[in-house]
Amino acid sequence: MTMTQMQAARAGKITDEMKIVAQEEKMDINVLKERVANGTIAICANINHKNLHPYGVGEGLCTKVNANIGTSSAFPDPEPEIEKLNIAIAAGAHSVMDLSTGNNIDASRHAILEHSTVMVGTVPIYQATVTAIKERGAVVKMTEDDLLHTIEKQAKDGADFMTIHCGVTMDVINRMRAEGRYMDVVSRGGSFITGWMLYNEKNNPLYERYDDILDICAKYDVTMSLGDGLRPGCLADATDHAQIQELLNLGGLVKRAWDRGVQVMVEGPGHVPFDQIATNMKLQKSLCHNAPFYVLGPLVTDVAPGYDHITAAIGGTMAAVNGADFLCYVTPAEHLALPNNQDVKDGVIVTRIAAHAADIVKGVPGAREWDLNMAKARKQLDWEAQMKLAIDPQTAREKRASRNPEGTTACSMCGDYCAVEIVNKYLGATIEHC
């Protein structure tokens, strides 16, 4: 019988995936095994995702970056999403999420899983909703069996983690309605389940059938990514009663999953004022028993459409410094359109910058050394070394080549008045010309 990574760790077994993660993260293998066993690290590795390079998410590991891709009803062709997948991986993403809602959801997921060497996440309620609309004419006609069947199908296909909005209950919705919100529910999955509950006057089937979902996750070693259906969609809604009540629910669900040997991540808020981010992160870690925390952004202002990858990166660094383990990218197209190829690259790179800035503070092995090596290369005006060390070497090379005469030692910003070159001259440092 197949064991999950958590079950194997609790049995004292070191899996191949644990060995790879420990080696790459420079973590003692027994420390890693202990943290997988207690749930503070998750290795998202479905037994059916055959070409996966495993990564760990959680305590003591470098901050991971996710890129969202997938079709929409306006753009249903899966082929461009494979190109985005390749761009995201080349830019350094550790995972992608297939958020497809178009007419080719199965084909899109199969193609992404076939081509992806990084973790793949899904949101099963998207496909269950599309099925309900096609077969019964409305989201609210979705059945419990639709949801369970979709979760099983996507798990069997190889999804490494799944966002499932189990924490949205009637109590949470009633708190939101009583308190009032400017943006109500902005999570797509959260809106689907909220609409279903209000129409059918029943509690969340994902909550009621949680044990059945855990059975599926345990069978394929799918990591449960407990979705934040009531995440704030604007700064004014951040850290309200509904958000915190859902978080309390998720804390209980974390324990239930761990009791079954199922790995868990918890998803966190979207739009949060900068001065509330640290509190949000520490609250989540406390209420959810130090489970790995996966956040979208957080975006620190609502007024920057076209630049929301930057507003998210600002919040992402603060979030990761204070406990977030996994950052979902935001692209320049957020709130505006389906991202194109350049948006995907920009989103990944900016989020990696945010993650790395946090890793320096968190003391992740190798993080400070990377920056120190760049400083040494700049001191020597060693441009080739600087290009190799850059987080985005392609863009760095292009800018260097396009704005500096060939063979120039300094850069065109300072030209003949390069501070580094002048001081090197009088301090006697060796300058390598490139």
- Read off the pLDDT of residues 123-170 as tens digits, 9 standing for 90 and up: 999 999 999 999 999 999 999 999 999 999 999 999 999 999 999 999
- Containing 226, the helix (H) or strand (E) segment is strand 223-226
**Is the Cβ–Cβ distance between 253 and 267 less than 8 Å?**
no
Torsion, CA 72, CA 78, CA 80, CA 84, rounded to 10 = 80
* Superfamily in which the 5-362 domain is placed by CATH: Radical SAM ThiC family, central domain (3.20.20.540)
Nearest to 134 by CA among 94, 167, 98, 101: 101
For residue 202, name the pLDDT band (cuts at 50, 70, 90): very high
In the predicted structure, residue 1 carries a pLDDT above the cut 80:
no
Residues at the binding site are 68, 97, 126, 165, 187-189, 228-231, 267, 271, 294, 335, 411, 414, 418
**What single letter denotes the amino acid at residue 213?**
I
DSSP state of 390: S
Domain residue ranges in the chain? 5-362, 368-427
Residues at the binding site for substrate are 68, 97, 126, 165, 187-189, 228-231, 267, 294
Where in 298-390 does DSSP place strands (E)? 326-328
- Strand 56-58 vs strand 41-43: parallel, antiparallel, or unpaired? antiparallel
Tell me if the bond preceding 76 is cis, omega within 30° of 0.
no
Give me the pLDDT at residue 430, please.
55
Residues at the binding site for Zn(2+) are 271, 335
In the chain, the percentage of residues whose pLDDT exceeds 90 is: 89
**Is the Cβ–Cβ distance between 329 and 372 less than 8 Å?**
no
Task: Give me the DSSP letters along 204-229.
Answer: -HHHHTHHHHHHHHHHHTPEEEE--T
What is the average pLDDT value for the chain, to the nearest integer?
A: 95
Give me the pLDDT at residue 434, please.
44
In the predicted structure, residue 429 carries a pLDDT above the cut 60:
no
Residue-wise pLDDT for 3-46, tens only, equals 999 999 999 999 999 999 999 999 999 999 999 999 999 999 99
Residues at the binding site for [4Fe-4S] cluster are 411, 414, 418
Average pLDDT estimate for 323-349: 97
Average pLDDT estimate for 356-385: 96
Kindly report the CA angle at 39 between 38 and 40, in degrees rounded to 5?
100
**What single letter denotes the amino acid at residue 287?**
L
**Is the Cβ–Cβ distance between 233 and 270 less than 8 Å?**
yes
- Rounded distance, CA 196 to CA 325, Å? 32
In the predicted structure, residue 433 carries a pLDDT above the cut 80:
no
**What single letter denotes the amino acid at residue 55?**
Y
Orientation of helix 29-38 relative to helix 16-25, angle to 10°: 120
